[in-house]
Amino acid sequence: MKVVLIGVGQAGGKLTQRLAQYDQKMGFGAVQGALAVNSAKADLRELDLDTVLVGQDRVKGHGVGGDNELGAEVMQSDATEVMDALDGRITAQAEAIFVVAGLGGGTGSGGVPVLARELNRVYQVPVYGLGVLPGRGEGAMYQANAGRSLKTLVREADATLLIDNDAWHTSGESMGEAFEKINQNIAQRVGLLFASGEAVEGVGESVVDSSEVINTLRSGGIATLGFASAAAAESAEENVNAVTSMTRKALLSNLSLPNAIEADSGLLVVAGQPESIPRKGVERARKWVEQETGSLQVRGGDFPLDSDRLAALILLGGVERSERVEEFLERAKEASKQTEEPDEDPAEKFHNDQLDDLI
């Protein structure tokens, strides 16, 4: 699947760089171009990508300070500059555009829905969002920002692939370690999804191509991605149970949006050496995914990959009815109320009856 990536904001830029690097390292050739857009000049300097600075007139290269309404405004004001930078990058070969952002910040959260709308207005290929939700412990402002951003992005993009920060955050990790691990996980999973139809070794029996990905996301709304891998035996017959086991793990334990299993559509991709992929196992696993998701639109196929392991990749479309999404939106709503409450004057705290005097 030939894609163009546009990272918006600090998290979006870093993740876009990781995705482009993974694609290059694996030799997939799926990423046709990558661009990072931000209102903070310092964040752009850290990236080995072509960049566009927005909001120079308003924020002088210092970022929007977590204000996603301002993030939306500066993106709207400088949308023409961003679109000009994309000229020549989105060619006839491009099959999809992904706008990438952390949804809790300012520039990414506010700017990514605006950019999705502009891209959809100009280009005929699907425009997808790749959004990262803030973890539960990241503060009310981030939750409220993400709620507003997600609601708008789902409306403006053709579909939004959602990553829950908490899904891959292990207790005891520092925030920096957690973000690095999350970016690594996303790059591997989403990178394999992009590579569907870009086989680098051999020919599978039923190779997945980009149209399968696009059809799975056609219902719009929110999508999630699951992944699991295991060592491969030499013969396909010996790998039937491994494929079933990996598929169960990918769906039940390793979704980017945990427990978002009820879906409108699905795609199961089994990657590995063509001779080690059991057609019987893939078909059995595909039918199981149908039963679990309640969808009759679950596609299945191979992705030939030069590896001594097998991997199961599951893409689910139309999962916005899931409890995980409802739980997050409720959290965002509560956080939004908190952020709208006026701050109490610190001096007033000394003149209330909630604390007893010491003497």
38 annotated as a binding-site residue: no
Tokens of residue 200, six digits: 């680098």
107 annotated as a binding-site residue: yes
Find, among 301, 315, 297, 213, the residue nearest to 257 by Cα: 315
105 annotated as a binding-site residue: no
191 annotated as a binding-site residue: no
11 annotated as a binding-site residue: yes
10 annotated as a binding-site residue: yes
- Sequence-ordered alpha helix ranges (H) in the chain: 9-26, 41-45, 56-59, 68-77, 79-86, 107-122, 140-156, 175-195, 210-216, 240-252, 279-293, 323-340
> Is 25 in a helix, a strand, or coil?
helix
Find, among 108, 86, 100, the residue nearest to 129 by Cα: 100
165 annotated as a binding-site residue: yes
- Give DSSP secondary structure letters for 146-173: HHHHHHHHHHHSSEEEEEEGGGG--TT-
Rg, C-alpha atoms of the chain: 22
Spacing of C-alpha 97 from chain mean position: 13
| 173: phi then psi, degrees, rounded to nearest 5 | -80, 145
> Is 182 in a helix, a strand, or coil?
helix
Dmax over CA atoms of the chain, in Å, equals 83
108 annotated as a binding-site residue: yes
From residue 178, give the alpha-carbon distance in Å to each of 184, 190, 289.
10, 18, 30
Distance CA 200, CA 27 (A): 7
106 annotated as a binding-site residue: yes
Tokens of residue 199, six digits: 């086989």
Distance CA 140, CA 353 (A): 27
183 annotated as a binding-site residue: yes
Tokens of residue 248, six digits: 């169960």
Q: Which residues are known binding-site members for GTP?
A: 10-14, 106-108, 138, 165, 183
Binding positions are 10-14, 106-108, 138, 165, 183
